[in-house]
Chain A
Amino acid sequence: MELAGLVQDIHDSGVGEWMRSSLKAMPVVEALHVLAATTVFGTVLLVDLRLLGIPNLKRAVSRVEGEVIRLTWIAFAVAVVTGALMFAANAQTYFINTAFRLKLLAILAAGLNMLVFETVIRRDVAAWDRGVPPPRAARIAGLLSILLWIAVIVLARWIGFTKGYDFVVPDDPNIKFDF
């Protein structure tokens, strides 16, 4: 099945239909997305700053990471699900939106960076877990992570300002759509 057809099918799905027609769904889904995304950013930032030695090198990297990792993953999962719901409502519009595509690429890049950190860079963490500055590769991974996740959030906001809508906004005078 080719991609454009798949996008159309997602748009036409019951889920997409529900997101568009239920006036209650969108605000809740969006707010959950903001909560989840900000939690991902905040927890990731915490670990990245530690890799950069901010505010200090006192607490072990593995401890700092261990305390938030579950939260990061749960928040990321919620962000993906809520993101998928928003995508379903407006699939074609997101699909062709440049900011949206760049955002997905940025998330991919951030994920790859984290994968490399976890599987390669972190192998000898016992040597630099606390008290000493992490190796340069770890510091680069930390900085890259911060920059990529900032890019994700900026691009995400830019989507809101560059996409149109591929459904008809209800004509009810009592409803003000003000994204």
Chain B
Amino acid sequence: MSGFAAWLHATAFSQTIQAVSWIVPLLQSIHILMIGIVFVSSLMISLRVLGRVHADEPFEAVWHRFAPWMRIALAVMLVTGLLLVAGEPGREFGSTSFWLKMALLLVAFAVTRQLGRSPEGPRARPAAIGVILLWIAIIFLGRAIAYDVEVWRSLSIHA
């Protein structure tokens, strides 16, 4: 484990998260419930760009319907995510999947923001589809953290 991860792992804060049996399952449960909100909100925005849902409303109405929910759910996921990492820093920091997931999150934020600003135009449709694929990849990478060495072999930071 890297120096920082080892230090964090040894703190009372981290030890508590690890030791109290219901904390990690609760954090993971909240994290998963939020995925439902973020993913489906993003899906609805993308489907509107593709003209498949909410055709009775302007894009702005759909954006204002779902973007706030996405923001709040993502904020909750940031908190639960940080706490989960604080509980097992070595596992996360040493996994390629984790860092790749973080990078793709930033890309997803950027694409979402751009989509919100320009829902029309030639790049809107590919962006709408692309952001959904990004979320799916992020979900898969989230699961892959537990299997990092198996998934990446020598590319895994652990290895």
Contacts and interface: CB of A to CB of B under 8 A. Distances in A.
A149 to B, nearest CB: 9
A30 interface: yes
Given A31-B143, A38-B32, A23 B150 contact: yes
B91 interface: yes
Nearest to B135: A35
Given A42-B37, A45-B40, A158-B25, A34 B32 contact: yes
B110 interface: no
A39 B136 CA distance: 11
B19 to A, nearest CB: 14
Nearest to B35: A38
B39 A39 contact: yes
A177 B146 CA distance: 7
Contacts of A175: 149-150
A119 interface: no
Interface in B50-89: 53-54, 56-57, 65
Contacts of A101: none
Contact of B40 (A39, A59, A153): A39
B151 interface: yes
Contacts of A161: 21, 24-25
Interface residues of A, number: 36
B39 A176 contact: no
Contacts of B37: 42, 45
* Size class of the B contact interface (CB-based, 8 Å): 35 or more
Nearest to A155: B29
Contacts of B100: none
Nearest to A63: B56
B147 interface: yes
B102 interface: no
Contacts of A157: 25, 28-29, 32
A150 B32 CA distance: 10
B29 A153 contact: yes
Interface in A26-81: 26-28, 30-31, 34-35, 37-43, 45-46, 55, 59, 63, 67-68, 71
A2 interface: no
Nearest to B61: A58
Contacts of B159: 174
B140 A42 contact: no
Nearest to A179: B146
Contacts of A30: 143
Nearest to B40: A42
Given A27-B143, A37-B32, A175-B150, 8 more contacts: A35-B136, A35-B139, A38-B36, A39-B39, A43-B40, A45-B36, A59-B56, A176-B148
Interface of B: 21, 24-26, 28-29, 32-33, 35-37, 39-41, 43-44, 53-54, 56-57, 65, 91, 136, 139-140, 142-144, 146-151, 153, 158-159
